Amino acid sequence: MSWPVAGQKVAGEFLFDDTCSAVMSEAFGKKRRLTRAVEFRRVYSEGQAYATPLFLCRVLDSGNREAPARLGLSASKHTGLSHDRNRYKRWAREVFRHEPLRPGVEIALSFRRAMMSASFEEFRAALVGTFERARLYGQ
């Protein structure tokens, strides 16, 4: 097997920049995540809450139209075993990646125990419905 040349697609998923570092084409990098506790606390205290049986979604508009929409996820041990919690977070990232949310929005998603019996389609419908209720689409 030969190593890819910079700028060449590999397996349809990875792209390589000039420094040959692997970058996912639809990566969920740190710029699109809430990473620090202080960021979560700000969204929890200042953001608007939207509740569903599957999760609690808190939304804060930072007002910065240059920054991408950002997502923070929390799943306590009450919501299932680690592989279940990781699955919920993968689902949330997948929906978040494919929805055209307006820039500058910060979202904190806390999963509830009802997620244990939800399918991806149910979760996606609930999350998209919450995004619509919060008016997160458009500019």
pLDDT given for residue 38 in this prediction? 96
| Tens digit of each residue's pLDDT (9 = 90 or more) over 51-109 | 999 999 999 998 888 999 999 999 999 999 999 999 999 999 999 999 999 999 999 99
Residues 38, 82 within the same domain:
yes
Residues 89, 119 within the same domain:
yes
Calculate what percentage of the chain has a pLDDT beyond 90: 71
Q: With bands split at pLDDT 50, 70 and 90, how would you rate the model's confidence at 30? A: confident
Residues 41, 9 within the same domain:
no
Long-range contacts, 49-53 (Cβ 8 Å, 24+): 50/130, 50/133, 50/134, 52/126, 52/129, 52/130, 53/112, 53/114, 53/126
- Hey, CA dihedral for 29, 33, 39, 42, is it positive or negative? positive
CATH number reported for the structural domain that contains residue 44 in this entry: 3.30.230.10
Q: Does 118 map to a domain?
A: yes
Parent domain of 94: 33-133
Average pLDDT over the chain, rounded to an integer: 85
pTM of the full predicted structure? 0.78
Q: Does 61 map to a domain?
A: yes
Residues 15, 66 within the same domain:
no
How many domains would you assign to the chain?
2
Residues 112, 58 within the same domain:
yes
Residues 21, 46 within the same domain:
no
Residues 39, 23 within the same domain:
no
Q: Does 138 map to a domain?
A: no
Residues 131 and 137: beta-carbon distance below 8 Å: yes
- More confident call, 24 vs 138: 138
DSSP assigned state of 53: S
Q: What angle do CA 117, 120, 126 make, to 5 degrees?
A: 90
pLDDT at 2 over 70: no
Residues 18, 70 within the same domain:
no
Q: Does 139 map to a domain?
A: no
